[in-house]
Amino acid sequence: MSDDNESSVNFGEEAGEAAPVKAKGAGPGLLRILMIVGVALGAVILIVTVVVVTVNMMNANAKPVGSVAQSEDYQATTPIYQYIGTIAEIRTRTSDKEAHTAIVKVNLGLEKTDKEGPVEINDRSPQIRDKLRTFFAKKVAAELGPANEDGLKVELKELINGILTKRMVKEVLFEKLDVVAQ
């Protein structure tokens, strides 16, 4: 019987050789893959932590960003202004050799929140009317045509803002711009 026990233990192998031990579970390959994934995950966490701390330290002294100023040229929609139409209609002769009369009525656009602008424009209305009359008297009838209206509006905005204490006129609109031959 003892021979039977020895043969069952050796499984037909010689007495000098030991039986190979099979590892239970997934084996050393899976363990190596898990170790590489763990090291990579640790590296990513370390890098993200360093970046977050660095960015926070750099932005600690920075001013918070408020609203971004937009250029009037690139606004998607036209802003809504409060319009002042208290400047009376102006009639003047142009500087043409042939007699032409310019009849102009303008509306001035100010910011909706501007409370002192309408008051100053009303107070300076005689000065504004005089500057407008002089401006149109220096022009010839061809310069007052529809093709030149945008340029005229820009010039008038600069002219009127030059009279006021601060640049409050944001837009000039023509309610009437007629040039009549005499």
pLDDT per residue as tens digits for the range 47-92: 999 999 988 888 877 666 666 666 666 666 778 899 988 889 999 9
Span 93-104, average pLDDT? 91
Map out the domains of the chain as residue ranges.
Answer: 25-57, 80-181
CATH architecture entry for 80-181: 2-Layer Sandwich (3.30)
pLDDT in tens, 155-176: 999 999 999 988 889 999 999 9
Distance CA 48, CA 101 (A): 73
What pTM did the predictor assign? Answer: 0.57
The CA–CA distances, whole Å, from 151 to 46, 133, 145 equal 60, 17, 11
What is the per-residue DSSP string for 71-122?
Answer: -GGG-SSPPP-EEE--SPPEEEE-S-SS-EEEEEEEEEEE-TT-SSHHHHHH
d(CA 86, CA 176): 14
Closest CA to 83 of 173, 178, 166: 173
* SS3 call for 174: strand
Q: Where are the beta strands (DSSP E) in the chain?
A: 82-84, 90-93, 100-110, 171-181
